Structure formats: structure tokens, C-alpha cells
Amino acid sequence: MRIFIAILFFLAISASQAYADSEEDKSKEKFNVMPQELVEHAKKMGCEQISDFYDDIYDYIEAPYAYGYTSASKKAGSIIDKEKSAVYWCQKKQGYSTYSYFLVTYFKKSKPDEYSCPEVVPHINPPAGLSIVRDMNLPLSDFVYMQKPHDEGPEEVRTSHNVILSYHDGASEYFYCHEGKWLIRQLH
């Protein structure tokens, strides 16, 4: 009789744990780490939000997205201006590509000429918090082309519009669109 009771107790605990696990999976599916419009845009781009972005790292300050990619300087950028464009990280889980993380640019309307780079940027490094940096005036010779990392950016040319910053724990990556090609600058 004791064995029978022990088996029933074990089955009840197993069933309740399985139910709790399935409920946790459902809640993770419903929880967005970025606004719904960006989650939907990610699906259109063939990827999905990074649902566990905050799970393993406890000290992220910035989110996996940032609005206002094409907005003007801090003084001129209004909330309406900032909502016209954004950048965000997404991931692709299926397939066997070298890249599983992607930086994506989002434009509600047509994108300005100076932001003519591909909208989806494959990236091998894990994603970090995003922000938009304005008025930096960085030399492009400090950057390298993402498609050809041995080629430095052009001499005597500086950033003239917004830069995307991905930052975590002292490591920074600056992404810059120049003449239709992505450049990156990494600092550790």
C-alpha cells in the first residue's frame, strides 16, 4: 500500500511540474522584450525577438531596441520624430547559419538616403543593449567594413549622421551606415 501511495504522490508531483513548465513556456511566448510593432516587423523580416535577452545577464541597462535612429540631434528630436525609425536585435533559430543574431533597422516610411544600408545586418557577437548616438563626429578610419573586416573605413571622412551603439559590460560596438555599406567599430 505504501508503494501505491508513493507512486500516486510521484505522479501528482510530476503532473503539476509538467503543468507549471508548460505555463512558464506559454508566458515566455507572450512576453515581449520590445514593442509589439517591432516584434511584428521582426516576423516579417524572418526572425524573432530575443525573448531571453534579460534572462542570463542581470545588468543590462539598455533594451534590445532603440527608437529614433533617423531623428535629428537631441535638441531637435521630438517624440514624434523618434517613433519614425528604430533599430533592434532579433534572432533566427532554425537553419545552420554562422549568424544567429541580426541587427535590424526599421523605418515607418521611406528611409533617408544616408541610411541606405541593408535593413538586416547579420552579426556573430551576442547582442547587447542598444542606443542611438548623435553628433559624435567619429573618423571612419577607426571603423572597418562589416563584409570585409580587414578593410578600414575611408580616410578623412567622419560620421555625419546617427550611430548605433550596442553596449554591455565595457564592450562597445558602433554601427554606422556609409554609402550603402555597414561599418563597425569595436571597443573593449
Residue pair 84/106 in contact (Cβ under 8 Å)? The answer is: no
Beta-carbon contacts of 63 under 8 Å, excluding residues fewer than 6 positions away, are 33, 34, 129, 130
Domain boundaries, the chain: 1-30, 36-187
The DSSP output letter for 95 is S
Phi first, then psi: give them for residue 41, nearest 5 degrees.
Answer: -65, -40
Beta-carbon contacts of 51 under 8 Å, excluding residues fewer than 6 positions away, are 28, 29, 31, 33
* Tens digits of residue pLDDT in 129-178: 999 999 889 999 999 999 999 999 999 999 999 999 999 888 899 999 99
Average pLDDT over residues 22-44: 77
* Tens digits of residue pLDDT in 94-141: 665 667 899 999 999 888 889 999 999 999 888 999 999 998 899 999
Please count the CA atoms within 13 angstroms of the CA of 111 that sit on its side-chain side: 18
Residue 9 to residue 91: CA distance in whole angstroms = 41
Residue pair 116/149 in contact (Cβ under 8 Å)? The answer is: no
Give yes or no for residue 18 having a pLDDT over 70. Answer: no
The pLDDT, as a whole number, for residue 53 is 85
Beta bridge mates, 164? 132, 175
- Give the cell for residue 177: 551606415
Please state, rounded to an integer, the average pLDDT across all residues of the chain.
Answer: 82
List the single range of 15-29, 64-78, 88-102, 149-163 with lowest mean pLDDT: 15-29
Q: What CA–CA distances, in Å, run from 149 to 142, 165, 182?
A: 12, 18, 11
| pTM of the complete model | 0.79
